Homo-oligomer: A and B are copies of this chain.
Amino acid sequence: MRDVFIGGAGMTRFGKHAGQSLRSLAAEAVDGAMADSGLPTDAVGAVYFGNAAAGVLSGQEMIRGQVALRPTGLLGKPIINVENACASGSTAAHLAWLSVASGQCDVALAVGAEKLIHEDKQRSFAAIASGTNLLDLDLGSSAGEVVSTGSVMMGEYAKEAAAYLQRHGAGADVLAAVAVKNRAHAALNPLAQFRDPASVEEVLASRTVAAPLTLLMCAPLTDGAAAIVFCSEDVARPLAGAPVRILASAIVSGGDGPADAVERAARRAFELSGVGPDDLDVIELHDAAAPAEITQYEQIGLCGAGEGHKLLTEGETSLGGRIPVNTSGGLLSRGHPLGATGCAQLFELVHQLRGAAGDRQVNGARVALAVNAGGWMGSDYAATVATVLDQ
């Protein structure tokens, strides 16, 4: 397979967009990505559309991409709708990468778009629950009261977090420290949902969602869209923006063994790229809840088992530290519009590798990793995508 480059990236501001539709959000991201690339829409040979919640929230199933992208001028081209819950955006990106890597086309577009905020918040939570393994999980008993007060996923993250803290003798303040770090990063990202700094005390004092998780340790409900233009080397080289290369894109499913989907996806991406954890300069991880970021440090090999919370509290993963994680603000503060998150992670890393990340630039960033995970099978994510990029 041939080398693939990102020639353009576009993204809406993430947040509550009461006045915008899935269609207008998607169009804004696509227009931004195409403009960023300088390529005409006509150059696009295939489109992969990632969305997770529109079926439950709007009733539109099956052909969401065609309906959402109708005003963009892309209708007529191959449009393929993909779903992998919170990893839908990176799954779309994986396939767009494959389309170009294979030589099937020279330009492919990945779009992640989500309108998750509903006037009835229970509908949003119901949408999120539809990304868990409903056939095998007894949500009523496994997630307890969380089902009625928030996302069922947070009940699962809470159980893991409690076990982690006990096993490694850490307190809830390390969970709060993830939120504090990512809020500080988001303050530097004009497209992030929550840009006000928060202190450890404020995070701990926010409403308990599922002990030990408080509200500010949980990814918010978010609307937004992001789009990425993948292209061949011949197409990419003349483009205005410095092209960023995809060194590897790896996807795995999980849920029938130990909770190792993140570890397997990252390992595979490292194998394919020849890059290891020590080579990384900047990383976007899937901090749908604060503890997930800490365990992912360990799963991708930034540190040993049980050492993730120290890596964090020693400032190693903050901007200015040895290996900054979630410079965008992450899911916790940039926001988490389910199907858009995977493309938003790539948007951030493209800007970091171009040296165009403004106040949150990681100096000299050359090699980057994104990990986007989604769905819940009961003991592990249903899908995880790991992407390695370089300058």
Contact = CB atoms under 8 A, between A and B. Distances in A.
A377 B67 CA distance: 8
Nearest to A127: B61
Interface residue SS majority, chain A = mixed
A303 to B, nearest CB: 25
Given A1-B102, A82-B81, A23 B131 contact: no
A383 interface: yes
A172 interface: no
A125 to B, nearest CB: 13
A142 to B, nearest CB: 15
A58 to B, nearest CB: 7
Interface string A131-164: 1111110000000000000000000000000000
Interface in A19-46: 21, 23
A251 interface: yes
A122 interface: no
A99 interface: yes
A299 interface: no
Interface in A42-69: 47, 52-53, 55-56, 58-67
Interface string A69-86: 010001111111111110
Nearest to A253: B79
A98 B96 CA distance: 11
A255 to B, nearest CB: 6
A133 B64 CA distance: 8
Chain B CB within 10 A, most for which of A75, A85, A254: A75
B60 A135 contact: yes
A375 interface: yes
A62 B375 CA distance: 7
Interface string A281-299: 0000000000000000000
B67 A134 contact: yes
Interface string A335-372: 00000000000000000000000000000000000000
Contacts of A95: 80, 95
A103 interface: yes
Contacts of A253: 47, 65-66, 74-79
Contact of A63 (B104, B256, B382): B382
A388 to B, nearest CB: 16
A165 interface: no
Given A55-B130, A59-B130, 17 more contacts: A1-B103, A55-B61, A60-B130, A60-B135, A61-B127, A62-B84, A63-B131, A63-B377, A66-B253, A76-B253, A76-B254, A77-B253, A80-B251, A101-B102, A101-B104, A102-B103, A102-B104
Enumerate the 9 nearest inter-chain pairs by beta-carbon distance, A residue then B residue, closest first: A102-B102, A62-B131, A63-B375, A61-B130, A62-B85, A63-B382, A75-B256, A79-B253, A66-B382
7 contacts: A55-B56, A62-B130, A64-B83, A75-B255, A75-B257, A101-B102, A102-B103
